[in-house]
Amino acid sequence: MAMLRYIIFNYHHYRAFISNNPHKSIPLFPFQFSHNFTTSQSDSFTVSYLINTIGFPREAALKASKRLRFNSPQKPNSVFNFFTNLGFSDSNIRSIIIKQPRLLSSDTHNSILPKFQFFLSKGASSSEIACLLAANPRILQNSLENRIIPLFEFYKRFFKSDKATICCIIRNLISLPYNLTTVNVKLLIDYGVCDSAIARLLLTRPAILGSIDFISTLEEVKGLGFHLSTSTFGAALVAKKCMSKTLWDEKVDVFKKWGWTDEDVIRAFRGRPELLLTSIDKINLVISFWVNQLGWNSLALSKRPRIFSYSLHKRIVPRALVLQYLVMKGLRKKNASLVEPFAPSKEMFLRKYVLSFKEDSDYLLKLYEENVNLASTKENIDMPFTK
Average pLDDT over residues 138-150: 89
- For 89, phi and psi rounded to 5 degrees? -75, 165
pLDDT interval class at 147 (50, 70, 90): confident
Q: What is the pLDDT of residue 282?
A: 97
Share of residues in the chain with pLDDT > 90 (%) = 44
Q: Say if residue 12's pLDDT is above 70.
A: no
Task: Kindly report which listed range (28-42, 74-88, 156-170, 199-213) carries the lowest average pLDDT score.
Answer: 28-42
Q: Give per-residue pLDDT as tens, 263-312.
A: 999 999 999 999 999 999 999 999 999 999 999 999 999 999 999 999 99
Q: Say if residue 22's pLDDT is above 70.
A: no
pLDDT interval class at 173 (50, 70, 90): low
Q: What value does the CA radius of gyration of the chain take, rounded to a whole number of Å?
A: 31
C-alpha closest to that of 112 among 122, 100, 128: 100
Task: Kindly report which listed range (110-114, 178-182, 357-361) carries the lowest average pLDDT score.
Answer: 178-182
Cβ–Cβ under 8 Å, residues 138 and 174:
yes
One-letter amino acid for residue 230 of the chain: T
Q: What is the pLDDT of residue 9?
A: 40
Q: What is the pLDDT of residue 177?
A: 66
Cβ–Cβ under 8 Å, residues 233 and 221:
yes
Q: Which residue has the higher pLDDT, 43 or 171?
A: 171
Q: What is the pLDDT of residue 369?
A: 94
Q: What is the pLDDT of residue 344?
A: 95
DSSP string, 258-302: TT--HHHHHHHHHH-GGGGGS-HHHHHHHHHIIIIIT---THHHH
DSSP string, 146-181: IIIHHHHHHHHHHH-SHHHHHHHHHHTGGGS-HHHH
Q: Say if residue 60's pLDDT is above 50.
A: yes
C-alpha closest to that of 182 among 204, 163, 157, 162: 157
Cβ–Cβ under 8 Å, residues 357 and 323:
no
Cβ–Cβ under 8 Å, residues 124 and 167:
yes
Cβ–Cβ under 8 Å, residues 317 and 352:
no
How does the average pLDDT of the chain come out, rounded?
83
Average pLDDT over residues 2-26: 40
- For 144, phi and psi rounded to 5 degrees? -65, -50
Q: What is the pLDDT of residue 117?
A: 95
C-alpha closest to that of 274 among 309, 227, 244, 225: 309
How far CA 102 is from CA of 50, 89, 114, 176, in Å, comes to 12, 19, 18, 21
- Three-class SS of 106-128: CCHHHHHHHHHHHHHHCCCCHHH
Spatial distance between the Cα atoms of 108 and 115, rounded to a whole number of angstroms = 10
Q: What is the pLDDT of residue 16?
A: 43
Q: Say if residue 36's pLDDT is above 70.
A: no
Q: Say if residue 387's pLDDT is above 50.
A: no
Spatial distance between the Cα atoms of 21 and 293, rounded to a whole number of angstroms = 88
Share of residues in the chain with pLDDT > 70 (%) = 84
Average pLDDT over residues 375-379: 60
pLDDT interval class at 182 (50, 70, 90): confident
Task: Kindly report which listed range (140-144, 172-176, 178-182, 249-253) carries the lowest average pLDDT score.
Answer: 172-176
Spatial distance between the Cα atoms of 384 and 387, rounded to a whole number of angstroms = 9
Task: Kindly report which listed range (253-257, 333-337, 370-374) carries the lowest average pLDDT score.
Answer: 333-337
Q: What is the pLDDT of residue 7?
A: 35
Q: Give per-residue pLDDT as tens, 321-371.
A: 999 999 999 999 878 899 999 999 999 999 999 999 999 999 999 999 999
pTM of the predicted protein model: 0.67
pLDDT interval class at 174 (50, 70, 90): low
pLDDT interval class at 115 (50, 70, 90): very high
pLDDT interval class at 176 (50, 70, 90): low
Q: Say if residue 59's pLDDT is above 50.
A: yes
Q: Which residue has the higher pLDDT, 82 or 8?
A: 82
Range of 8-17, 151-160, 370-379 with top mean pLDDT: 151-160
C-alpha closest to that of 217 among 237, 190, 197: 237
